[in-house]
Copies of this chain bind each other. A is one copy, B any other.
């Protein structure tokens, strides 16, 4: 009996060509596994395709809710954003996929896992660190880095498939390189490879309009959170995945969440991409807006550092590590009272604040206003400033003294 490999399979040209290649070069039985994180691909007929391509089995695994609850929500709570802009759409999905691949590998008694990520990107790292952390004994095969892989273009792959009896209708033209899931879609390649060139948004966008094509009329949206977790949209209780799905429609329509970034990959080079994260952008903004009312200054400050750390960790594929768990434990404590309602007006790329409320709000109208009261007497500021400025003043006096002694 042959040893088994689990292949992360999408039904696209790359992962199709890998099936015969694995059989030919490793003599494995190939188990395909298509993990659905909300990429909205055509899954109908996928099983037939996989088998036609030589796989012995296809698993289609829907992890959308797992993705939302266990990967997206912790990052939203943390306001984790990579290099100020990237909402980690692809980064958050990879560990969830890796976990599912390991699960299938264990169930099938496979000895290896194979993925189709290239040798210059971040995803190879995220897949492989996930697998190493969960199943250090499993072999990992990355064809694009493998000496035995000789296919250099889409045409090569098509020819290779044909030569191995797989006759499926793939186009040899390459478009943008894209990755999509419930949270976002990323675009790389074509004109984006030159940072001096503006993206061709008319051609590029998949999830919605550009601000310029968005409707003339704005639209209000209301969200509630409980302990940092989104719980309802426009007054309707929903699970997180449904909230994101609906926000994607709204945000896409109004041109929200399109970013154009040159980012630093883990593997050491810069790359340029455009991300569409319509719903995610609204959700994170709403969460942050609510936190403004609830978190004290010191907590906000340290939480910002921890959110930046989490973004780095997730971007680097280190989800299944003690450090990621520790950071999330920190964040969870800060979220205990992040409960309340946020209202926004969406209008041509803008998220315009329209009121926030929380029973845990630390904002106090009487404290903020100019009057003196029970909690705070204007004279208190006198003592505060004396002590707050003391090190500064002592230092200035010392410098005067040194100067005078010259």
Which A residues are closer than 8 A to B by beta carbons? Answer: 83-84, 118-120, 124-125, 128-129, 132-137, 142, 144-145, 147, 177, 189, 193-199, 211-212, 218, 255, 260-264, 266-272, 288, 292-293, 295-306, 308-309, 312-313, 316, 318, 320-323, 325-327, 329-334, 336-337, 343, 345, 347-350, 352-357, 359-365, 367-370, 372, 375-400, 402, 405
CA distance A385 to B199 in the complex (A): 32
Decide: A261 and B400 in contact? CB cutoff 8 A: no
CA distance A211 to B142 in the complex (A): 48
CA distance A393 to B134 in the complex (A): 8
CA distance A264 to B387 in the complex (A): 12
Complex contacts, A261 vs chain B, CB 8 Å: 292
Decide: A336 and B322 in contact? CB cutoff 8 A: yes
Say whether, besides A348-B349, A348-B350, A368 and B193 are in contact (CB < 8 Å).
yes
CA distance A340 to B349 in the complex (A): 27
Question: Shortest 6 CB-CB distances between A and B: which pairs?
Answer: A383-B383, A119-B378, A268-B390, A264-B297, A380-B383, A326-B333
Complex contacts, A385 vs chain B, CB 8 Å: 124-125, 128-129
Decide: B381 and A387 in contact? CB cutoff 8 A: yes
Complex contacts, A199 vs chain B, CB 8 Å: 353
Decide: A129 and B329 in contact? CB cutoff 8 A: no
Least CB distance from A374 to B in Å reads 10
Least CB distance from A187 to B in Å reads 14
CA distance A389 to B128 in the complex (A): 8
Say whether, besides A125-B388, A211-B348, A134 and B396 are in contact (CB < 8 Å).
yes
Decide: B389 and A129 in contact? CB cutoff 8 A: yes
Least CB distance from A380 to B in Å reads 4
Complex contacts, A336 vs chain B, CB 8 Å: 322
Least CB distance from A2 to B in Å reads 23
Complex contacts, A263 vs chain B, CB 8 Å: 292
Among A137, A305, A388, the most chain B Cβ lie within 10 Å of the Cβ of A388
Decide: A394 and B355 in contact? CB cutoff 8 A: no
Decide: B299 and A402 in contact? CB cutoff 8 A: no
A392 interface neighbour in B320, B352, B369, Cβ under 8 Å: B320
Given contacts A136-B393, A198-B352, 9 further A-B contacts (CB under 8 A): A129-B385, A132-B396, A133-B396, A264-B296, A298-B323, A321-B392, A348-B350, A380-B386, A384-B387
